[in-house]
Amino acid sequence: MSTSRKLQRIFYRPLRAKLIFNAGSGRPEESPQQLVNILSEMQSQQILPEVYTVGPDSQLETVVNNAIKTGIKLIVVAGGDGTVDGVVGAMVGSDAALGIIPTGTRNNLAYNLGITGDIASSVALLRHGRRLKIDAGRVHWGHSRHWFLEAAALGLVSDLYPMADQLQHGDLAQFGGFLSTLISATPSRLRINLDGHKQLDATAHLMLIANMSFIGPHFQISPNVSFRDGLLDVFTFSDMGKLKMISYAMLSRGGPVEDAGMKHYRAKHVKIRSIPRMPVLADGVVLGEGSLSVHIHPRALTVMAGSALTGQPA
């Protein structure tokens, strides 16, 4: 054992944690070794995990609620963005901190928070990282509620996201449906209310309400989006056709691209009505169709982050 690890054992007080491990994230064939590595690194950091393995019927919010009731102050998710999304609702407003070990496909939330290293460095951040309070968004749609950290979307992206996600996981059979949906999509008329007083009207295929600069597969919607300013960043694409939006998305993978067809607003509360009704999505979860309202809850979630926050304005 190295000298540094011996010193860690001497000076660290044991820290209880709930480890939520998703063996189906990323490359499932690597999961057994990943879990071994995570437990080994946690042992070196004097973190004492209670391990919960995610299954098809897992109720992660219940798992987290029960852990917090027993006095656990650190909830660690080893998985991708979808696994993290499953625990957010139980953690907002609590005094427990969320730690992330990115083992999924996109790991976009971890990327925004500056958690971009291997398992060893990610576990080390659970001890040495920056403890931050970040904003959380909440979508109200019909009688449903859904928390989100990255973005909510209305329109074309909500139709295409599930198929694009399956394509990214290797299901090439979705390609035909992806093209068909893209070609047949029509724009909707949007009535947008910002903070109860500013009214906007637009005709568009797509509207995004972002809480983080990078969304989805590390696509940077704008370098000026902050997850610590207590505001939602609202983007409309009223003057952009489908091909232009795809071109914009592809170019933006290399950094933000300004376009006159994209309008940017900020608000704490947003209400949207679409005619015809458009599909609604929040952090990759398709919620349905229709009108919605979105609210920001400032600094409502505690996270363990890296020293350099990729998704924050300079």
**Alpha helices, DSSP H, located in the chain:** 3-11, 31-44, 60-69, 81-91, 108-112, 119-128, 156-168, 175-184, 242-252
Q: Are 185 and 156 in contact (CB under 8 A)?
A: yes
pLDDT score recorded for residue 262: 78
CA dist., res. 240 & res. 223, Å (int): 20
Polymer length in residues for the chain = 314
Average pLDDT over residues 264-285: 90
Helix (H) or strand (E) holding 221: none
Instruction: State both tokens at 283.
Output: 């952090």
Pairing of strands 232-236, 206-210: antiparallel
CA dist., res. 88 & res. 297, Å (int): 13
Instruction: Answer with the residue of higher pLDDT: 299 or 284.
Output: 299
CA dist., res. 259 & res. 237, Å (int): 9
Question: Does position 10 have pLDDT exceeding 80, yes or no?
Answer: no
Structure confidence by residue, pLDDT tens digits, 158-208 = 544 444 454 444 544 444 444 444 444 567 889 999 999 999 998 877 788
Instruction: State both tokens at 52.
Output: 């919960």
CA dist., res. 287 & res. 80, Å (int): 20
Domains and CATH numbers, the chain: 3-129 (3.40.50.10330), 138-298 (2.60.200.40)
Burial of 53 (0-12, 13-18, 19+ CB in 10 A): middle
Taking each helix axis from N to C end, the angle separating 31-44 and 119-128, rounded to the nearest 10 degrees, works out to 40
Q: What are phi and psi of 37, to 5 degrees?
A: -65, -40
CA dist., res. 306 & res. 201, Å (int): 40
Rounded to two decimals, the pTM is: 0.84
Structural Rg of the chain based on CA atoms: 20
Structure confidence by residue, pLDDT tens digits, 212-256 = 999 877 888 889 999 999 999 998 877 555 555 555 444 444 455
Instruction: Answer with the residue of higher pLDDT: 48 or 240.
Output: 48
Question: Does position 1 have pLDDT exceeding 60, yes or no?
Answer: no
Structure confidence by residue, pLDDT tens digits, 103-137 = 998 899 999 999 999 999 999 999 999 999 999 99
pLDDT band at 52 (very low <50, low <70, confident <90, very high): very high
CA dist., res. 147 & res. 295, Å (int): 10
Lowest mean pLDDT among 14-18, 29-33, 221-225, 261-265: 261-265
Which residue bears the tokens 């709930």?
Answer: 18
Instruction: Answer with the residue of higher pLDDT: 34 or 207.
Output: 34
pLDDT score recorded for residue 229: 97
Question: Does position 21 have pLDDT exceeding 80, yes or no?
Answer: yes
Instruction: State both tokens at 62.
Output: 């219940």
Q: Are 38 and 7 in contact (CB under 8 A)?
A: no
